[in-house]
Structure 1
Amino acid sequence: MNSKTVLGSLVVACSLLASMPASAAYSWTFSRSDCAGKVANSGVKSDWFTSCSSTGTPSSAPDATVTAWANTATGSKIESGYVGAYSDDPLHLGVVNKKEDGSQPNHAMDNNGYYDSLLMSFGGAVKLTSLELNYANTDSDLTVLAYYGSGAPVLAGKSYADLLSSGWKLVGHYADVYSNANHAATINASNYISSYWLIGAYNPLVDPSNPGWSATNDYVKLRSVTGDTTRVPEPSSLLMFGLAFAGLVYARKRRGSDAGGTGFA
């Protein structure tokens, strides 16, 4: 293989790497029109849904679907609940678990008696970087996890204590989020990237080394999350680049050896 052929391969490999999308910033809010499976709400001034979706902003963002969960099944196991959709667009998202009637403040995502969570499932891997609330009562501590297991996560029938041994990673506990500027918190200092994120009222059950905050008085509603998608070069592209570069070095050395010097023709 001569140096010109190798140089051409290197150019192709570099072009492939350069053509890959760079990271992009996105945000996700939710609209009532994008919620599905409406459930009768016993006269409470809100709507309950089995799920809500968001196309994100800008339009190139991966789609996101949110579902509700709580440890209300027998043996304190996790089961599905209802996404509470409150106020006007963008919605305030809470959780109405199967032990609640949706009255205030239990129609929020809370940890009074049971631990409520919202599962956010994205159409691609994202790195969440912040979240924003638009309601809190009493306190507003949160727990966030990201899924690193194989396939889609299964929550039903597990306990919260099972999650860290079932593919989930603790992103962090975040105190007094509603008291922050813009009722928001910067999250994910470890830069986890996942298609599945579990956001809930502060939950010491998932983490034996939890900070020991009060765990019965957090009532919050989620307004939005933000993050980005950072593409990692595909292994095949990296391999092509590496082989081309190695070939280029070899050709250069061989030519220098044959001609008593270095350089390319």
Structure 2
Amino acid sequence: MKFSTSLTLLLLAVSSSAFGSDSSLASAKYDARYTLANPNGSANYTQTTNAQNSSTSIEINGVQVNVGITAWSDSYTGNPDNILEKGDIEGWWNCTLGKNGCTTQNRHKGYGIKNGDYSWGGDSHAVDNSGDGYGRDFDMFLLSFSESVTLENAAFTWVVGNNGSKEVTVAGLDNIAGITNKASSTWNSVKSAIVDNTLGHFGVGTIGSNGLYESTFTSITGSAKYWLIGAYNTIFDDNASSKFNSVELKLSSLGVSMTQQTPATEVSEPGALALMSLGLGLLLYRRKRRV
């Protein structure tokens, strides 16, 4: 009876240590760069709000994440002038190859939005918060991802205007119904879909050695499948001043991160069986010696 109790206790101990798994998860953040243009200047984006249907993707730690991009502005042609309309995405080089030190290494293509108020050219060259025809408009790119991600930073080929620490607005959304419902879509109707810890307004630094202007989204910690990025949008800023300087930007690339969780290390099944066999063998050896 004493032997039976010892055998049972030992087998339970071995089984628990071998098959028991640690329920805790290890989290790690992985980054990738999403560039809107290939090195030769060809477009590296798919215009869609449904990332699952996009032919453009980025790889984040071995995970393929599809990306779709569309352009929007509150530039409804006529009155009222605050209804959102889909705009055209147009790209421009930041320098002419072979001139003024322009090389393939520092030559980048940036993208702007041609919106419904286009009349003379300004609104086709940039994503901006200025106006062309019916007053001030807020241009923003809508990025759709097949996985929840976080926007870390952005790079621009061209920046005109200065509004201090509020030149770029970023917001993650849990749905895009407030954008795609053309009958009544306004930037105000989008505000309720903003995900916690994804809204921010940021400045743009001076041009770097890579030929790009950088903006880092230091306060963004939340993740979402839909992201807006564009020139400073006062409708998303509860502390907006009645006066601000216009900013015009050409978006080149985005820093994207994704947090992945993996379970703690577990003992494999073959290893567990080996441990159990060893424990049983030791017990049988002890019994034989006692006999």
Same fold (TM over 0.5): yes
Query: Using a 3 Å threshold, how does the CA distance of structure 1 residues 129 and 22 change in structure 2: closer, same or farther?
Result: same
Residue 186 (1) aligns with residue 188 (2): no
Q: Is the 8 A contact 1:105 1:137 kept in 2?
A: no
User: How far, CA to CA, are the matches of 2:109 and 2:229 in structure 1?
Assistant: 16
Name the counterpart of 1:99. 117
> Deviation of residue 152 (structure 1)?
4.9
Between the aligned partners of 2:88 and 2:25, the Cα distance in structure 1 is 43
In 1, Cα distance between equivalents of 2:46 and 2:30: 28
Higher Rg of the two aligned structures: 2
Aligned residues of 1:146 and 1:194 also touching (Cα < 8 A): yes
In the alignment, is residue 87 of structure 1 matched against residue 93 of structure 2?
yes
Distance, in Å, in 2 between the alignment partners of 1:95 and 1:186 is 22
Deviates more, 1:52-61 or 1:130-139: 52-61
State percent identity of aligned pairs.
20
User: Deviation digits for residues 38-92 of structure 1, max 9, x if unmatched?
Assistant: xxxxxxxxxxxxxx97433667452322110001235312121111122288531
Contact between 1:84 and 1:95, CA under 8 Å: does it hold in 2?
yes
Change (3 A) 1:25 1:211: farther
Match of residue 75 from structure 2: 72
2:30 to 14, 24, 32: 24
Q: 2:187 is matched with which residue?
A: 160
The runs of 5 or more residues in structure 1 that have no matched partner are: 38-51, 242-265
1:62 counterpart letter in structure 2? V
Residue aligned with 2:260, SS = coil
1:230 aligns with 2:259: yes
Q: Match of 1:258?
A: none
Q: In 2, Cα distance between the equivalents of 1:86 and 1:102?
A: 17
Q: Which residue of 2 aligns with 1:244?
A: none
Letter in 2 for 1:10: G
Separation in structure 1 between the aligned mates of residue 240 and residue 91 of structure 2, nearest angstrom = 30
Distance 1:152 1:78, change over 3 A: closer
Cα deviations by residue, 1:2-25 (Å, 9 ceiling, x for unpaired):
2333323324x56x957xx84321
SS in 2 for 1:81: strand
Please give the root-mean-square deviation of Cα atoms over the aligned residues, in Å.
3.3
After TM superposition, the structure 1 stretch with the greater mean CA deviation from structure 2, 53-62 or 179-188, is 53-62
Residues of 1 paired with 2:74 and 2:112: CA distance? 15
Separation in 2, partners of 1:35, 1:186 = 22
Q: Secondary structure at the match of 2:188?
A: helix
Instruction: Verify the 8 A CA contact 1:111 1:218 in the aligned structure 2.
Output: yes
Q: 1:117-151: CA deviations, max 9, x gaps? A: 0011122111211111110122371111111x2x5
The answer as to whether partners of 2:59 and 2:65 remain within 8 angstroms in 1 is no
- Residue-pair matches, total: 214
- CA shift for structure 1 position 195: 1.6
Counterpart Cα distance in 2 of 1:145 and 1:69: 14
Give CA-to-partner distance per residue, 1:168-221, whole Å, 9 cap, x none.
45521112x153645112104241111211001111112222356615x21100
Which of 146, 149, 156 is equivalent to 2:172? Answer: 146
Query: What's the secondary structure of 1:165's corresponding residue?
Result: helix
How many Å separate the matches in 1 of 2:127 and 2:90? 9
Task: Name the counterpart of 1:263.
Answer: none
CA shift digits 1:155-179 (9 cap, x unpaired) = 133221232223445521112x153
Decide whether the 8 Å contact of 1:29 with 1:91 is kept in 2.
no
Are 1:132 and 2:164 matched, yes or no? Answer: no
